[in-house]
Structure 1
Amino acid sequence: MLMSNTDRAARLHFMANGFRVLSPGDHVVCATSGVRIALDDLRYWSVARQEAYATPALATAAMSG
């Protein structure tokens, strides 16, 4: 049986201009809020912390605190 990536968190390596998928999935989890972020909607992350964020406000708060 083939494995489906639906409802499975992806593991990513974040880079300055994008990310590389290390383990397939359909979403990641926001590091600060715990909200699921579809890979197609992922826009904010920290390269240094290797974390994803759901909104620019959450990303700013995480990086300033």
Structure 2
Amino acid sequence: MLMNKNSTPSNGEARLHYGPSGFRVLRAGQFVTCAMSGVPIALEELRYWSVEYQEPYATAQLATERLKP
């Protein structure tokens, strides 16, 4: 990871922008919080999110439940 002299790595919550096939890190961190359950999700474990709502989900079941009409 490239960092300038004024930045430090964060062990806290990351801020992401969710796209249709991936996400972009806006603020470095180790995890995001599931929008449905509130549990932390390590970035390397993040598999489910909503582009429309810009929210991460811990499981496929939670993502499906959130996105029901």
Larger Rg: 2
Q: Deviations over 1:23-62 (max 9, x none)?
A: 0000000000000000000000000000000000000000
- For normalisation by structure 2, the TM-score amounts to 0.86
Structure 2 spans left out of the alignment, 5+ residues: 1-6
Q: Give the aligned partner of residue 32 of structure 2.
A: 28
Q: Quote the RMSD (CA, aligned, Å).
A: 1.5
Structure with the larger strand share: 1
Q: Give the aligned partner of residue 3 of structure 1.
A: 8
Moved over 6 A (4+): none
Q: State the number of aligned residues.
A: 64
Q: Distance in 2 between matches of 1:60 and 1:17?
A: 17
Structure 1 spans left out of the alignment, 5+ residues: none
